[in-house]
């Protein structure tokens, strides 16, 4: 009987870490970017990393808080992403905040370059994760939010949370708990 590769259990490896969609092990997220920017479009990009950077990421250590993406010529680069040195590394350890090349299709780079030149648009990293054993970065074309937009978003989120609580409480009361 034929079983598609996606539904076969993976061999080896640990199941620790956050797994989303069964294939993505999230290493770092930039929650501040979703708060500060209105996300227009997202892209998945490969990362060019050294061996010690990959090992450090596999330990779940990274930060995207100050990170940003810049298009230089015909290449996309991730700046200010903090991947700490590998603890068992030697003199071959990497620089913590070096710029890292992003692997995207030519059309995607051209589209991002043209859109990011528009006033108020920027490219921000949203997440670092492993997908099928390869390090990936989720980047987004975004527009900066004004202070009142941020407050409005927080208010909507709080209202949604309160309504969910009220609904859950009503359901519990209905069941007699």
Sign, Cα dihedral of 89, 101, 10, 60: positive
- What strands, in cross-sheet order, belong to the sheet with 100-103? 18-20, 24-29, 121-131, 134-144, 37-47, 100-103, 75-79, 68-72
Q: What is the pLDDT of residues 119-142, one digit of tens each?
A: 778 888 988 888 888 888 898 888
The pTM assigned to this predicted structure is 0.67
For residue 95, pLDDT beyond 70:
no
Q: How many CB atoms lie within 10 A of CB 112?
A: 23
Can you read off the two tokens belonging to residue 170? 């009503």
Q: What is the pLDDT of residues 12-26, one digit of tens each?
A: 444 444 555 557 788
In the structure, what pLDDT confidence band is assigned to residue 161 with cuts at 50, 70 and 90? very high
From residue 26, alpha-carbon distances to 21, 31, 130, 131, 137 in Å are 11, 13, 6, 9, 10
How far does the chain reach from its first CA to its final CA, in angstroms? Answer: 48
Alpha carbon distance 57, 134 (integer Å) = 11
The CA-based dihedral angle spanning residues 146, 151, 153, 156, taken in that order and rounded to the nearest 10 degrees: -150
In the structure, what pLDDT confidence band is assigned to residue 86 with cuts at 50, 70 and 90? confident
């Amino acid at each position: 009987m034929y079983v598609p590769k996606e539904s076969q259990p993976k061999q080896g490896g640990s199941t620790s870490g956050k797994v989303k969609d069964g294939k993505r092990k999230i290493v770092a997220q930039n929650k501040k970017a979703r708060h500060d920017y209105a996300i227009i479009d997202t892209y998945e990009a490969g990362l060019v990393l050294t061996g010690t950077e990959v090992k450090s990421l596999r330990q779940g250590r990274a930060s995207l808080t100050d990170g940003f993406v810049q298009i230089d010529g015909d290449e996309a680069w991730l700046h200010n992403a903090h991947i700490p040195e590998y603890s068992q590394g030697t003199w071959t350890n990497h620089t913590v905040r070096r710029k890292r090349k992003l692997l995207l299709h030519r059309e995607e780079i051209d589209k991002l370059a043209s859109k990011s030149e528009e006033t108020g648009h920027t490219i921000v990293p949203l997440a670092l994760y492993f997908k099928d054993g390869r390090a990936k970065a989720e980047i987004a074309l975004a527009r900066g939010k004004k202070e009142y937009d941020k407050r409005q978003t927080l208010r909507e989120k709080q209202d949604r949370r309160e309504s969910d609580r009220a609904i859950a409480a009503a359901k519990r009361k209905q069941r007699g708990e």
